[in-house]
């Protein structure tokens, strides 16, 4: 995570010819995304410890598997979209899949 923050600092204070407002918006969006992922991770650990009565080792293993799967699925979806299907069709399929899974769990 520290490496990603250094990338943000490099984008913000780099000597590139981009507009300063775009640098600030990129760093802000990336920081908010990191904050959201960290918040979901902490909430998942607390849920597993308190509600599911998991021990620390199994809760951390489950959270590590969840993070790895979520990051791996974005890479797989991007490579499928870039190579085979196209950006629009991939977005539509994954959004439909997301809505079906989200409403199935309610």
Cα–Cα distance, 43 to 62 (Å, whole number): 13
Indicate yes or no: pTM above 0.75.
Answer: no
pLDDT for position 101: 81
What are the pLDDT digits (tens) for 35-51? Answer: 988 898 999 999 999 99
pLDDT for position 27: 81
Backbone φ and ψ for 42, nearest 5 degrees, come out as: -65, -40
pLDDT for position 9: 60
Cα–Cα distance, 53 to 49 (Å, whole number): 5
User: Tens of pLDDT along the chain (106 residues)?
Assistant: 555 555 656 665 654 555 667 777 878 888 898 898 889 899 999 999 999 999 999 999 999 998 888 888 888 888 888 888 887 888 888 888 888 887 765 5
């Amino acid at each position: 995570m520290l490496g990603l923050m250094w990338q943000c600092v490099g984008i913000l204070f780099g000597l590139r010819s981009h507009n300063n407002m775009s640098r600030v918006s990129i760093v802000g969006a990336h920081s908010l995304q990191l904050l959201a992922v960290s918040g979901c991770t902490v909430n998942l650990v607390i849920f597993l410890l308190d509600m599911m009565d998991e021990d620390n080792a199994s809760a951390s293993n489950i959270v590590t598997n969840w993070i790895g799967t979520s990051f791996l699925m974005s890479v797989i979806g991007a490579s499928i979209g870039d190579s085979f299907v196209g950006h629009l069709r991939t977005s539509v399929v994954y959004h439909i899949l997301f809505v079906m899974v989200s409403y199935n769990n309610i």
